[in-house]
Amino acid sequence: MTKVRFYLRRNNAIHTTSIFMSIHFGASQEKNERKKYLPLKYAIGESIFPVHWNKVKCRAIERSYYPQHTLLNIRLRLLENMIHCLMLELKNNNITPTREELRELLDNKLRQHKRQKTRKQAHSFTSFIEYYIGLNNSIKSRGTIQQYHNTLRILKNFSKETGKVLEFEDIDLLFYADFKKYMCDMGYTDAYFGNQIKFIRLFLNEATEYGFNKQLIFKSRKFSCSSPDVAKIYLTEDEISKIQHLPIEDNLLLSAIRDLFIIGCRTGLRFSDLIRLNPTNFSENDKILRITTKKTNELIYIPLTQDVMEICKKYHYSLPRVANGIFNMNIKRIACMAGVEDRVEIVIRRGKDKRSESIKKYKLVSSHTARRSFATNAYLGNVPSIAIMRITGHQTEKSFMKYICIAGENNARQLLLHPHFLRDLPKT
């Protein structure tokens, strides 16, 4: 008769430990004229704190301080029943498996069960997004996961308003039109709508790869949103200098944020990489910064200017860490104090509505402004585009030119210094 017993891998662990099951199904071998039974020990993919485990009953302890015990014990009971049914089926077919054969049968059985469970969890588009977020929760950055949750929240609100469950076959061009109208009615800008469409396409691509989605209309060019004109600003060298020499040393927070911003303006690092800088990225006698970027996992090398080296020495190469929200709030304050007050014309679109607004430049300054300022100022300083792209990570010159802030007039003035446009000048 088959006997199944559950036990912990480590009974004295202070953290969670794996739950194993021992299956006694009659497998044995002769040793020293004695029969030795060979149970199969199998990890079931569950874990628990040892303090929540009842060693006598071989089940989760049934106490109010561990409310998960009910579901876990149900899963253990179902697993035990599945083992008994499997062994009964094998017995009826006169099959006596070895331990290796039984392990393979269990692997196939549990893998099939997991696939069925997964498909049940992801039967609708929104439930797939929840499933996908769960898969990537420990892989993607916290900011990316938050953006996924934002898109999921908006889709759920849209579903509630329209009364649609949002099955995969519902995600078509009619959905696109209805969703765009909904976001416009809710006061979202076209830029934010385009951002949500980008994530929806990502989720649909993943669902297609996983085999959940067969509706491919989302690949149509009509199921997209061209990025509307947004306010892309950079700080000139003069404006950066004003911020750099602003007398705020008495305020440790503002001083640290200002120093990080200046390093960003001189290195082009993303904020996620900027706050990770530590002594291992620097060499005392070498003016080269080495870092593997968080977003692209690419090793890049950046030459350091003298002012950056002085800031790094000030902090003994262990730069301060500041939350992105606090950084963005205070860098605007710093830019205002430094007199970065030129007015910038921005265009806001909501469906058919379009309005222009003049806003002071310091209100648009953020952590990303430093990276854009680095790229734009380096380009204006005649640094070859390909050299800048090796630092910023842009793959094509077309995408790079869209990134930097070069107005038509600035571009023309830049070209005036090019040898091609100087060729007809009289020689002196």
Question: What ranges do the domains of the chain cover?
Answer: 3-120, 125-219, 237-419
Give the pLDDT of residue 11. Answer: 84
Beta bridge partners of 34: 31
Alpha carbons 19 and 367: distance in angstroms, whole number: 46
Alpha carbons 370 and 240: distance in angstroms, whole number: 9
pLDDT higher than 60, residue 122:
no
CA of residue 395 relative to chain centroid, distance: 20
Q: Name the one residue in this structure whose structure tokens are 């497998």.
A: 27
Give burial (CB, 10 Å; 0-12/13-18/19+) of 63: exposed
Alpha carbons 379 and 399: distance in angstroms, whole number: 14
Helical H segments across 3-141, by residue range: 69-92, 99-121, 125-136
For the chain, the average pLDDT equals: 84
Q: Does domain 125-219 have CATH number 1.10.3470?
A: no
Number of alpha carbons in the 13 Å side-chain half-sphere of residue 336 = 11
Q: 83-114 burial by CB neighbour count: b if 16+ within 10 A, else e?
A: beebbeebeeeeeebeeeebeebbeeeeeeee
Tokens in use for 91? 């017995």
221: helix, strand or coil? coil
230: helix, strand or coil? coil
> Taking residues 190-203, what's their average pLDDT?
90
Give the pLDDT of residue 325. Answer: 87
Share of the chain above pLDDT 90, in %: 30
> Taking residues 174-184, what's their average pLDDT?
91
Write the DSSP symbol of residue 65: T
Alpha carbons 40 and 232: distance in angstroms, whole number: 63
pLDDT higher than 70, residue 409:
no
Give the pLDDT of residue 158. Answer: 92
The H or E element spanning position 19 is: strand 17-24
pLDDT higher than 90, residue 200:
yes
pLDDT higher than 70, residue 318:
yes
Give the pLDDT of residue 29. Answer: 73
> Taking residues 129-140, what's their average pLDDT?
82
Candidates 163, 93, 159; CA nearest to 126 is 159
Give the pLDDT of residue 416. Answer: 66
CA distances (Å), 16 to each of 7, 48, 50, 137, 292, in order?
A: 13, 5, 7, 19, 32
- Helical pair 125-136 and 190-210, crossing angle rounded to 10 deg: 80
Backbone angles phi, psi at 284, to 5 degrees: -55, -40
Alpha carbons 157 and 159: distance in angstroms, whole number: 5
Q: How many residues does the chain have?
A: 428
pLDDT category at 201 given cuts 50, 70, 90 is very high
pLDDT category at 352 given cuts 50, 70, 90 is low
Q: Please report, in angstroms and rounded to a whole number, the separation of the first and last CA atoms in the chain.
A: 105
pTM above 0.75?
no
Instruction: Identify the weakest region by mean pLDDT among 111-125, 213-227, 323-337.
Output: 111-125
> Taking residues 390-404, what's their average pLDDT?
83
Alpha carbons 63 and 282: distance in angstroms, whole number: 53
Between β-strands 299-303 and 40-48, what pairing exists: parallel, antiparallel or unpaired? Answer: unpaired
Tokens in use for 31? 């040793």
Alpha carbons 275 and 322: distance in angstroms, whole number: 7
Alpha carbons 271 and 294: distance in angstroms, whole number: 10
User: pLDDT: is 313 or 357 the higher one?
Assistant: 313
Give Cβ neighbours of residue 328 (< 8 Å, ≥ 6 apart): 366, 367
pLDDT category at 227 given cuts 50, 70, 90 is low
Give the pLDDT of residue 44. Answer: 87
What sign does the CA torsion over 149, 150, 154, 157 have? positive
Q: What are the tens digits of pLDDT across the range 86-112?
A: 888 888 888 888 888 888 888 887 776
Q: What are the tens digits of pLDDT across the range 353-378?
A: 667 778 899 999 999 999 999 999 99
Q: Does domain 237-419 have CATH number 1.20.120.1200?
A: no
Give the pLDDT of residue 237. Answer: 93
393: helix, strand or coil? coil
Q: Name the one residue in this structure whose structure tokens are 């860490």.
A: 321
Write the DSSP symbol of residue 137: T
